[in-house]
Structure 1
Amino acid sequence: MTVPPCLGANAGNCPTKGRSMATAQLVQTTVTYSGQRFTRYPIRTHWLSENEDLAAVLLSYTSDRQSGDTIAISEKVAILLADKTVPVETICVRWLGRLLARFIRPQLGEALGLSVPPKMQYVINETGRARILAAAAASALTRPLGIRGVFYRVAGTLARDIDGGVEPHEHHLFPPLDPTEAAQLCEGFEQSVGVGIAIVDMNDFGGSIRATSTSSLPAAALTEILADNPMGQKVTTTPFVIIRPEPS
């Protein structure tokens, strides 16, 4: 699905703060999972900032939600509004971080990943030099065989899922939420909005479900239903998707 950017010359495409799903939604799409049809409603918002309350934003933009819905929230937005980002300026990039970042080769059209030195350095600091060097060695041995992604599998979840460090968030890193903390956020948001909540990290190459609330669709179902990334990327400003089961 092609979505016009919500910036610059296309700013007129953006909803004003507080519009409901009926006026703020983009093109809805329907998918089938395990014999059940689900409609996905991406919700376009204003450009959110760390000074806003995510529960209030959810209430404002999803006023047309219904019982049985699940609202998927972009993990990046959850991290930003929960004030869990890491300022890039606080990371002292050392020689190993710069060296290893040079050997990360993103696929065409892929996010830059750990090829951004501050991100690589942060992962080294948090994961440990030994594990990252082991990941680099494993990658060097398997890449000539055409096996990709070994570095991230060995380095772990933080290396795979950390975001930010590039425009439009070049000044902040977005380390993934702890699953327990994410689950607590989901339960709190469900109490606020009255429907299931999931915090998800999806991209054009797949992704993961960080946590779900009690009334949410299960993670396995959401992984399939959101596999084509209906939330879009970056400047699409569609951090929420309402997922609604259709009557049989």
Structure 2
Amino acid sequence: MSTVKPTNTRHLMLIIILTLGIASIALTILAQTPTRPKPFMTINGQAYQINYYSTTSTATPTIIINGYIDGTPVPFSVSLFAITPTKIYTVGYYYGTGTVSINLTNPLMTKVAETWISECESNAGMPSLMTFITYENNNETWTVIMAIPYSPNWIIKKTPIRISISAEFDKVKPVYVTPIKSNNQTNIQTTQINQANGNNDPYGFTYVGNCSSSFYVAPPPIFARFLLGTSAM
């Protein structure tokens, strides 16, 4: 009958303790590593991608736009417009370097969402925000145009939804801008719409539409890949 020598037993115990220690450290690192959230809806366009996340990092529906040239963040501007069944509203003009963040629970967007729900009731669907993202360099401009679908209920209920957008300007053709030269001084007048019919209603355009035909702007060339598309409505 063979016996285990004390020295071999101590070596075995040290190996077991060392193995358990390494495993414990590895589990601790894994527990502290944040998991990457998965979008519940993704839309792929020719020069952009839109991802929708249910998140606790933002208290209200928020659009976060990132703009790149060959993977490098660049300064860009954003022109954002909202539609209702009969009107087009200017939500705002924004500027940032690399990233622009837009809170969608401002008074105008709340009014737009309430209009969809009151006029279309359960048929409100997912209207879109018309978006123009522009990068300028010298006399050239690159513009990524997209439609951003959203649920009016997200605005009304202030659902914590993050709409993350990546715009890749190098995937669109630039437009060369030539300044107009003139020897005559031209008096340019600008009109700012503050009130209409006695109410704070900053719309500038109307169109003929209805609840059954005005939900969506035409889809991009490469349309949506839906992942549990109705889970956050």
The structure whose residues are more often strand, as a share, is: 2
TM over 0.5: no
The structure whose residues are more often helix, as a share, is: 1
Q: Name the TM-score class by shorter chain.
A: under 0.3
